[in-house]
Amino acid sequence: DSGVTQTPKHLITATGQRVTLRCSPRSGDLSVYWYQQSLDQGLQFLIQYYNGEERAKGNILERFSAQQFPDLHSELNLSSLELGDSALYFCASSPRPWTGDHYGYTFGSGTRLTVV
Amino acid sequence: QQPVQSPQAVILREGEDAVINCSSSKALYSVHWYRQKHGEAPVFLMILLKGGEQKGHDKISASFNEKKQQSSLYLTASQLSYSGTYFCGTVNSGAGSYQLTFGKGTKLSVIP
């Protein structure tokens, strides 16, 4: 157990639907990151939050949004789902939002989303 | 800018050594290395900051050549447990943010 909790582990939904993925960071970590992993694209950075504020944005589609709550858990909302959104979505956390120190990212076990 | 990893895949026999390379077209501030086993989450191995330091983690070590904007991961006397996909992640200097961008990964298979 890495300390980063993601729910649900698996999700099957139909095209056009909306889903919410949840992440609780490791205790003491203030920064949360969302990544999408598909077979041919590797780990694609979506978005980063630190202590409730958005700090960096990657290739996140307009149909996707995220937020980090006061208790530091984060939610990733995916709407108008398409077949191509099927992927493994990882959440990771770290103590601080920068990587100028010796802390790596701790990843959760991921949510596998299948859009049918 | 996504870093480029090479090779894409490598097969080793137990006890053999391997090198995985990671290069960037932009100036690097730091490089992360992670290992992901099939169906599991990526696991942090080490981070290297600009300055060319080399770090070690059991029989796995890495170097960072700031001038060449490259990092290399060295696996010596490989064990079956080393099998998995290795990802480098890079943070570019002066990017204004600390976005960690991952390469496409190198699949390492260690066979008896």
Nearest of A63, A114, A65, A59 to residue A88 by alpha carbon: A114
**B6 close to B86: Cβ distance less than 8 angstroms:** no
Q: How far, in Å, CA of B106 to CA of B110, rounded?
A: 13
Is residue A83 within 8 A of residue A59, CB to CB? The reply is: no
Smallest Cα–Cα separation from B32: which of B110, B103, B108?
B103
CA distances from A80 to A16, A67, B39, B67 (A): 4, 18, 27, 45
Residue B82 per-residue DSSP state = G
Which pLDDT score is estimated for B67?
85
The average pLDDT across B80-106 equals 86
Of B42, B49, B100, the CB nearest to A45: B100
> Which amino acid would we find at residue A105?
Y
* CB < 8 Å to B99, chain A: 45, 48, 56, 58
Return the pLDDT at B36.
95
Please name the member of A41, A97, A106 whose beta carbon is closest to the beta carbon of B98: A97
| Partner-chain contact B32 A104, CB within 8 Å | yes
Has residue A101 got a pLDDT over 60? no
Nearest chain A CA: its distance from B96 CA (Å): 9
- Confidence category of residue B3, pLDDT binned at 50, 70, 90: very high
**How many cross-chain Cβ pairs, A to B, lie less than 8 Å apart?**
68
pLDDT of residue B27: 83
Pairwise CA distance, residues B51 & A78, whole Å: 40
**What pLDDT score was predicted for residue A112?**
97
Does the pLDDT at position B98 exceed 80?
Answer: no
Across the range A57-74, mean pLDDT stands at 94
Q: What is the pLDDT of residue B74?
A: 95
Q: How confident is the model at residue A65 (pLDDT cuts 50, 70, 90)?
A: very high
- List of chain B residues whose C-beta atoms are within 8 Å of the C-beta of residue A2: 41, 43
Residue B107 C-alpha from the chain's centroid: 11
> Which burial class, exposed, middle or buried, applies to B112 when counting CB atoms under 10 A from its CB (0-12, 13-18, 19+)?
exposed
pLDDT tens by residue, B22-66: 999 988 888 999 999 988 999 999 888 876 566 666 789 999 888
pLDDT at residue number B95: 56
> What is the reported pLDDT for A103?
75
